[in-house]
Amino acid sequence: MTATIDVLDAPTDVQSDVLEFLARLRGPTIFRVPGIDRTRARVVAGTLHGNEPSGVRAIHRVLLDRVQPAVDTWMFVGAVAAACAPPGFAHRMLPGHRDLNRCFRLPPFPDEDGRIAAAALLTLREAGPELVVDLHNNTGHNPAYGIGGAIDEAHLGVAALFTTNYVCSQLTLGTFTEAFAGIAPAVTIECGRAGDPAADETATLGLLRLLERDRIAPAGGDGMTLLVDPVRVCLHPWASLAFADEPAPGIDLTLDPAIDRHNFRALEPGTRLGWLRPEAPWPVFAIDPDGVDRSGALLEPVGTELRIRTSFVPMMATTDAFAARTDCLFYAARPRG
């Protein structure tokens, strides 16, 4: 059974309120926006998570203003129902559904979310995109940054439209941009914290730059912060979690309530991140691209404290317990050598 995604020409009657705009869609939707050059195409995705509004706010803005791009642009809005669920932009995904941005590993999973991913890829790959951008938010304090599968002039050129921070990742999570590897430079842009007007501005101004430029200038690493080899540090499903200034009684892992202040800052060995419940099993894991758990190389128990064993740069550390449990505690990367 194949999911149906609406593929619509750029509308001329866009509602001024973004949630009203989304409410009039029947579900995941791809908008075709004709460019000045009709022989080339680009792909932009936004709000593949319903609680990350910056992407769809940027797409809504260019549709509302009837911006004509330099080349044909296909704009995919994914988690429409989750974004519209009251009170609006509050749910990553709806109950009973999986994270849509983990469903793009092929072959697709045989459920509704997997079929949505497969249908989107079928249409968007056929467009023959010369580049792909996916706009996201996160829940912690982070600067805007791009994530891609290579450090080269094409990927850095796309990222530089939005940010001066770039992370090269070989992790395979089933994301939208991973599905375009070998097809086109594909970059995820983490625009900043959800609900922050600065994150919306990063998404919108970067998208406008992407649309207006006939050619995306290649970029080198000069002037950019480059991180490589991120590992996703996660909580075991059985482990309990709290955020507090001191160990929470009976909790397997208590993290510093301001842990996200460390994002994009190199941390030295010995830095305390939190506390462990005495005599409890090791509560975290960190699987690298080769399937090896590196948590013990990155972190260590010192008495009841959780401390850093090897210097790394954290990203996406969050104090949102739901995000920490359902996605990850943080990513650990290193500066490009």
Q: Is the pLDDT of residue 30 over 90?
A: yes
Largest CA distance in the chain: 65
Residues 218 and 287 in one domain: no
Where would I find the H helices in 193-240?
A: 197-212
Q: Which helix (H) or strand (E) holds 49?
A: none
Residues 84 and 137 in one domain: yes
Residues 154 and 234 in one domain: no
Residues 77 and 187 in one domain: yes
Residue in 44, 171, 28, 140 with CA at minimum distance from that of residue 94 = 28
Residues 154 and 23 in one domain: yes
CA distance 248 to 255: 9
CA distance 9 to 30: 8
Strand-pair category, 272-276 with 241-243: unpaired
Going from the C-alpha of 229 to that of each of 55, 62, 332, the distances in angstroms are 26, 34, 8
Residue 3 pLDDT grade (very low, low, confident, very high; cuts 50, 70, 90):
low
For the segment 65-124, what is each residue's pLDDT rounded down to a tens digit?
999 999 999 999 999 999 999 999 999 999 999 999 999 987 777 899 999 999 999 999
**C-alpha of 143 from chain center:** 13
Going from the C-alpha of 44 to that of each of 35, 53, 76, 283, the distances in angstroms are 14, 14, 6, 37
CA distance 149 to 152: 9
Contact 242, 251 (CB under 8 A): yes
Contact 21, 12 (CB under 8 A): no
Q: Is the pLDDT of residue 185 over 60?
A: yes
Domain CATH code at residue 80? 3.40.630.10
DSSP 8-state code for residue 281: P
Length of the chain: 337
Is residue 54, in this structure, part of any structural domain at all? yes
Average pLDDT value for the chain: 95
Residue in 215, 217, 204, 218 with CA at minimum distance from that of residue 36 = 215
User: What separation, in Å, do the N-terminal and C-terminal C-alpha atoms of the chain show?
Assistant: 48
Q: Is the pLDDT of residue 323 over 70?
A: yes
Mean pLDDT of 223-243: 96
Domain boundary among 166, 188, 223: 223
Domain span at 130: 6-223
pLDDT of residue 240: 97
Q: Which helix (H) or strand (E) holds 60?
A: helix 54-64
CA distance 229 to 150: 11
Residues 215 and 237 in one domain: no
Q: Is the pLDDT of residue 273 over 90?
A: yes
pLDDT of residue 1: 43
Mean pLDDT of 244-248: 96
Residue 196 pLDDT grade (very low, low, confident, very high; cuts 50, 70, 90):
very high
